[in-house]
Amino acid sequence: MNQPLAPAPQGLAALEARLRQDLSWLEIPAKQWVTPRLVDGQPVLDVAIIGGGMAGLAAAASLTHQGIVAPIFDQSPEGYEGPWATTARMETLRSPKQLTGPALGLPALTFRAWFEAQFGGEAWDALDKIPRLQWMDYL
């Protein structure tokens, strides 16, 4: 039997459009539902997430999807959160590329979707471990 053709790159704009459609079908993000509160005349955050690495990003996105405002505060400049572009020494991730990571159960949010949108399915097949800086771009 013939192997299915590896998908050609569709571009990130097409992937974003697909993600928007998927989220819309799932009614995500939910409407904000926590009652706004003021303390000393200042609005109070529902949740503050300290650290915008993988865990903080996933937590913020997950809460936002559930209609809870959850801004991230990170001591590192934007684009340098986590170890990937700063303290990391290994050039690749340790996990195999098939582990989906912080995709929140949404296929269009996986590294593979992000990678194939730009480089196509043949490049995905040829990829061994994910380079750390590419992982940071994805995050």
Q: How far is the CB of 111 from ligand FAD (least distance, A)?
A: 11
Nearer to ligand FAD (CB atom), residue 21 or residue 73: 73
Q: How far is the CB of 61 from ligand FAD (least distance, A)?
A: 12
Residue with tokens 């590329």: 97
Q: What is the contact surface with ligand FAD in residues (CB under 6 A)? A: 50-56, 73-76, 81-83, 88, 90, 93-95, 132
Nearer to ligand FAD (CB atom), residue 4 or residue 96: 96
Residue 23: Cβ within 10 Å count: 15
Query: Virtual CA dihedral for 25, 28, 30, 31, nearest 10 degrees?
Result: -80
Q: How far is the CB of 53 from ligand FAD (least distance, A)?
A: 2
The two tokens of residue 71 are 């801004």
Nearer to ligand FAD (CB atom), residue 15 or residue 139: 139
Contact call for residues 11 and 118 (beta carbons, < 8 A): yes
The two tokens of residue 117 are 């949108």
